[in-house]
């Protein structure tokens, strides 16, 4: 069996008195596309952010590539350097593209590989060009983000994440901020990553896409997993009345 890339067990997260995640467990083996669906406020982003340590879990265990994240008794990370290292192994793509606006596309891609990882610049540039070509932006390496469409910016953001050669990709509603006519070009890139066997956790409201690309789908409701399963089952034969209602509301 393929090794586990990401495992989350009993994850809880509270913001003050508000408990947003109430004990969530998910797992992705290498090459799996695991998709999180659910209504606004159900905890999807918080879950991804905890996997990437942008949020500190209140309780639970996170294991990345077989390595358990070490926590203190109060749940805070024990080892900052471990967190940095593991975070670098996960490529995160947000709804808002988050490119550095004062850097060109190429500079966006090589910044962290060169200045944080210490990769020789020529190597980083070669890697970046290869990835820009893959996402259809070979002609745009000298452009500033403001001169790109939303779809181009998001493809650049995906290429930037890939430049770190991540173990897995985390996508949080990567097409939600795009004009409808630009959604397809970004989904095509994500689909090509899935097809080449990349591991990913994906949050999306694109249900048709989720059905086609996912190995496993998790429906979150109010901080808990309400239902999960293979896409044919979850979309084709949902059991929970909440999930049925949700699917009606988004399709
Ligand atoms: P989703 O991505 O499924 O829409 P989120 O994970 O963003 O849901 O949010 C779940 C809940 O947690 C929401 O009620 C949201 O307001 C709350 N929340 C998220 N982040 C914070 C934060 N930093 N501080 C306080 N509340 C937060
Ligand atoms: Mg969200």
Long-range contacts of the stretch 123-132 (C-beta < 8 A, 24+): 124/163, 127/163, 128/159, 128/163, 131/159, 131/162, 131/163, 132/105, 132/106, 132/156, 132/159
| Residue 153 belongs to some domain of the structure | yes
How many percent of the chain have pLDDT more than 90?
Answer: 91
pLDDT at 165 over 90: yes
pLDDT at 244 over 90: yes
Give yes or no for residue 127 CB within 6 A of ligand 1: no
| Residue 151 belongs to some domain of the structure | yes
Give pTM, 2 decimals. Answer: 0.95
| Residue 176 belongs to some domain of the structure | no
- What average pLDDT does range 91-119 have in this prediction? 95
How many percent of the chain have pLDDT more than 70?
Answer: 100
Give yes or no for residue 13 CB within 6 A of ligand 1: no
Ligand nearest to the CA of 20: 1
Cite the DSSP H helix spans in the chain. 44-51, 80-88, 105-115, 121-134, 150-162, 180-195, 207-213, 231-236, 241-250
Looking at residue 186, its pLDDT comes to: 97
| Residue 145 belongs to some domain of the structure | yes
Domain encompassing residue 121: 96-165
Atom of ligand 1 nearest to the CA of 40: 4
| Residue 175 belongs to some domain of the structure | no
- What average pLDDT does range 10-38 have in this prediction? 97
Looking at residue 74, its pLDDT comes to: 75
Cα dist from 24 to 10, 71, 215, whole Å: 5, 18, 18
Ligand 1 centroid to Cα of residue 73, in Å, is 24
Looking at residue 48, its pLDDT comes to: 97
Give the total number of structural domains in the chain.
1
- What average pLDDT does range 13-30 have in this prediction? 97
pLDDT in tens, 200-212: 999 999 999 999 9
- What average pLDDT does range 176-196 have in this prediction? 96
| Residue 15 belongs to some domain of the structure | no
CA-proximal residue: ligand 1, atom 11 (nearest):
41
| Residue 124 belongs to some domain of the structure | yes
Q: Which of 9, 45, 38, 2 is nearest to 218 (CA)?
A: 38
| Residue 236 belongs to some domain of the structure | no
Ligand 2 centroid to Cα of residue 203, in Å, is 8
pLDDT in tens, 109-157: 999 999 998 999 999 999 999 999 999 999 999 999 999 999 999 999 9
* Predicted-complex ipTM score: 0.98
Residue 155: CB atoms within 10 Å: 29
């Amino acid at each position: 069996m393929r090794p586990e890339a990401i495992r989350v067990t009993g994850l809880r997260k509270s913001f003050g008195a508000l408990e947003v995640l109430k004990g969530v467990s998910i797992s992705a083996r290498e090459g799996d596309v695991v998709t999180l669906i659910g209504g606004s406020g159900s905890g999807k982003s918080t879950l991804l952010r905890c996997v990437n340590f942008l949020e500190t879990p209140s309780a639970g265990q996170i294991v990345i590539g077989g390595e358990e994240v070490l926590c203190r008794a109060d749940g805070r990370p024990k080892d900052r350097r471990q967190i940095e290292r593991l975070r670098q192994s996960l490529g995160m793509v947000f709804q808002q593209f988050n490119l550095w606006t004062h850097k060109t596309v190429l500079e966006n891609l090589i910044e962290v590989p060169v200045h944080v990882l210490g990769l020789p610049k020529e190597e980083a540039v070669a890697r970046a060009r290869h990835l820009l070509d893959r996402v259809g932006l070979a002609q745009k390496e000298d452009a500033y983000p403001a001169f790109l469409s939303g779809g181009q910016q998001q493809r650049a953001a995906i290429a930037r994440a890939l430049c770190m050669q991540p173990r897995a990709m985390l996508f949080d509603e990567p097409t939600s901020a795009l004009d409808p006519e630009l959604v397809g070009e970004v989904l095509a890139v994500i689909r090509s990553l899935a097809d080449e066997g990349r591991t990913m956790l994906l949050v999306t409201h694109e249900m048709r896409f989720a059905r086609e690309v996912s190995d496993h789908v998790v429906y979150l409701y109010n901080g808990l997993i309400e239902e999960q399963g293979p896409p044919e089952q979850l979309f084709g034969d949902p059991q929970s009345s909440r999930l049925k209602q949700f699917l009606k509301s988004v399709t």
